[in-house]
């Protein structure tokens, strides 16, 4: 499922930053449990939050979808 594929990719990129879910969520001003559920593929996340995450990861939006 698309939400799981994107969630995995976000987790992979977030791990590269060395930040915990908690620290990363705080950095981008997102609720930690909401962010955790995105990584688990449980949320049909919308554009504005996708952008917020890409900005926090410091990658272009297209990178979130690379290989998906």
Binding site residues, its own copies, CB under 8 A = 2-3, 6, 44-48, 50-51, 60-68
Residues 6+ apart with CB under 8 A from 38: 3, 7, 10, 45, 49, 53
- Residue 13 CB, nearest approach to its own copies (Å): 14
Residues 6+ apart with CB under 8 A from 41: 1, 3, 4, 5, 6, 7, 8
- Residue 5 CB, nearest approach to its own copies (Å): 9
By beta-carbon proximity to its own copies, the closer residue of 23 and 66 is 66
By beta-carbon proximity to its own copies, the closer residue of 25 and 38 is 38
């Amino acid at each position: 499922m698309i939400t799981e594929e994107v969630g995995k990719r976000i987790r992979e990129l977030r791990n590269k930053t060395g930040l915990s879910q908690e620290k990363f969520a705080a950095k981008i001003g997102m609720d930690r449990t909401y962010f955790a559920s995105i990584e688990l593929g449980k949320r049909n996340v919308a554009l504005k939050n996708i952008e917020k995450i890409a900005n926090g990861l410091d990658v272009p939006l297209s990178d979130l979808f690379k290989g998906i």
